[in-house]
Amino acid sequence: MRNVLSRLNRQQYAALFHHYASISTGLHYIGVSKSSQFRRGRGSETQRWRMDMVPIDLWLQHHFSTGFTSIHGERPSAEYAKLRKESLENEFGHALGTYSSKSLSSSFKFGPFWALYRAAFISFQVVKLTVLHFFVRDIHDRAVKFRETLIRLGPFYIKLGQALSTRPDILPNAYCQELAKLQDQIPPFPTHVAIKSIETQLGAPVSQIFADISPEPIAAASLGQVYKAHLHSGELVAVKVQRPGMSHTLTLDALLFHMIGGQLKRFAKARRDLFVAVNEMVRHMFKEIDYILEAQNAERFAALYACYPKSGENSYRDTSTKGTKMRTYIKVPKIYWNYTRKAVLTMEWIDGIKLTDADRMKKAFLDRKKLINQGLYCSLRQLLEEGFFHADPHPGNLVACTDGSLAYFDFGMMGDIPRHYRVGLIQVLVHFVNHDSLGLANDFLSLGFIPEGVEIQAVADTLQASFGDGTKESQDFQAIMDQLYNVMYDFNFTLPPDYALVIRALGSLEGTAKVLDPEFKVVESAYPFIVARLLADPNPDMRKILRELLIRNNGSIRWNRLERLVMAISEQASESDGDGNDAPVRAWKSFDMHSVVAATEDVFDFILSEKGSRVRVFLARDIVKAVDAFIEDEAFSSLFAEKREGKTASEHSQGHKMTVRMVSGVRAFLRAVNSAPGAWIPFIVRMAFEPHAQTFFLHLVASVSTSSCHKVQEAFWLCISRLLHMLDEQCRASDS
């Protein structure tokens, strides 16, 4: 019996050797022969493809070990980011020049001593802060003193502090955290001053303009305050009045800052030139104090994103369908242009519930998670689709309405991000989720986060070290940004002007959502939207990002990402099958099946191209492994029931998991096909008649067949060995 078992073991090892040799041979047919096809001359159609018997690992090492190369494309350029930055700096210079000339003439109108007094007051506060620099050593205490000084200096410096609170690339984290506490802590100016400003701007007594107006402001901020009023026609309106002399004060403070800003920079230990950040901030502040521009922003925002529920309809339930379909309702106040001027803005009054008022929201039966989804969807559309976005969506600028809609206010601080940066934002997120450090480093170069001349590989290595093993990875936006900032300071890292507002918007969005749900993670929640966007957008740059999401730089498949994507599409197909009608507004996490098919065809075209030769090698290798695992775990292990019952560890083996994932993936794909056969069947037919696809399929079948034959032979001898072992045990048991 022992001799028999010994011979079986020798044959088992021999079968195993031939099995792996067959895999290497079959994969070489798929990878090398395909690329050889593209190297042939035009007149060599009858030339046979070269089929060297090279193991797959040695073949990959020989062809791709001379230096890392990505299958997805070349290194990007920072030229666009440089031109964009110069354009914005020129825009700021023009704005500051226009306002400064007006401000200087106004200064002499009010008296030359006004400008001198302001300069002396600011200088005194800065000298006082400089003296404290020598006595206060604790960085947190210094941050508190810095914040208190900014409050005393007035609106310009409060706005400056608010802007710097989102710029850890400039100030230490302790200062950023302290400046985040800054609110518009300025007392309201007297109502009679506001009334006089309204009458001056609108050219009529306030009694002729409004039927009534509140005696005190409903809300006050650093740049203006809001009153509640009725028009003579009966409409309830909000009247926003700018603080008198604001444009001159801001411009004068901006000019004076360039004289004394160096002291503030030294006290705060700014990591980069503070004047650059101030220039960016002032450019937006000049827009904030122009209420005509704010009104135009409100109407543009409404045209792009507003959606109003019908009378008596709740935004969470579509009564025309059997199930509950989420609608995205966003309200924007109507602008009354007859009562709007550069320093006075009259708009519709919208009653709502503050997002921080949990009791009122509960009484109104408002679903917090659905409110978050509405706000997140609207914000992602702003940042990733249209580019025109609200840069400060904090809880004070958003309210929940009793019909379930979300209302936006305060359109003074808006951003308009070009497509290059919108695509770059998606690319950064995909590369971060994939832990693709080299891709992330290239993104930073392309978007202007790091200057040209920096060694990209050194940046990638630093980022890779920061990822660690991924066990403690956070999906919290601020934590992610802190992680990136902490590893990038050594490379002259800075935020481009466009992204400074984007970071502020995303930070405010996550902070607002955390008021409703403390466990909210903006990156994790935005991922389904981004995947849907990648599938829906046919532009080449978005298709490239989709391929990077599913395929690693070396050509191997990210099966976990592909599995999640297929399952998500399949789940949507199952839901749509159970619901006979679609809601007028589609759920934001859904996929358009025709777009999914188009994206799938694009990925297949890439795999079958010359660039996809490595992908074909890895794809075939994984398919062969999956088939082998299926044969081993399902076909032969079922012959021995006690093995499956007694060895639970085998059910958790890598092979078993691969088999389960393969079967579930195929089932999910079939469900997706059944949900939209009109979209999928033409694609399958096109692929069936594609010559490259036919060649790849035939080689894949040959590899699987060769591997399976050896696997069957191996499994056969294992079964014989198992039977003989059982017989041996029974003989021993009977002898005893």
Output the six-digit token pair for 410. 């305060």
Residues 169, 253, 318, 392: which is the catalytic one? 392
**321: Cβ–Cβ under 8 A, 6 or more apart, which residues?**
579, 580, 581, 582, 583
Output the six-digit token pair for 144. 């508190």
Task: State the residue for tokens 């941050």.
Answer: 143
Rounded distance between C-alpha atoms, residue 74 and residue 546, angstroms: 16
Output the six-digit token pair for 139. 């960085």
Cα–Cα nearest to 441, from 70, 83, 76, 73: 76
Helix axes 677-688, 593-608, angle to 10 degrees: 10
What are the C-alpha distances in Å from 190 to residues 4, 93, 734? 104, 34, 106
Helix axes 613-630, 2-39, angle to 10 degrees: 160
Rounded distance between C-alpha atoms, residue 720 and residue 716, angstroms: 6
- Residue 49: strand pairing partners: none
Element (H, E) at 219: strand 219-220
Alpha-carbon 93 to chain mean position = 32
Output the six-digit token pair for 731. 């003989």
Contact call for residues 570 and 313 (beta carbons, < 8 A): no
Rounded distance between C-alpha atoms, residue 119 and residue 108, angstroms: 15
Output the six-digit token pair for 608. 């079958």
Long-range CB pairs of 595-602, under 8 A, 24+ apart, other chains included: 595/535, 595/536, 595/538, 596/535, 596/569, 596/672, 596/679, 597/676, 597/679, 597/680, 597/683, 598/538, 599/534, 599/535, 599/538, 599/543, 599/546, 600/683, 601/683, 601/686, 601/687, 602/538, 602/543, 602/546
**472: Cβ–Cβ under 8 A, 6 or more apart, which residues?**
none
Contact call for residues 447 and 81 (beta carbons, < 8 A): yes
Other beta carbons less than 10 A from residue 479's beta carbon: 13
Other beta carbons less than 10 A from residue 497's beta carbon: 24
Rounded distance between C-alpha atoms, residue 347 and residue 239, angstroms: 7
592 noted as active-site residue: no
What dihedral do alpha carbons 653, 658, 661, 662 form, nearest 10°?
-150
Task: State the residue for tokens 């045209």.
Answer: 303
**544: Cβ–Cβ under 8 A, 6 or more apart, which residues?**
72, 73
Q: Tell me which residues are annotated as active site.
A: 392
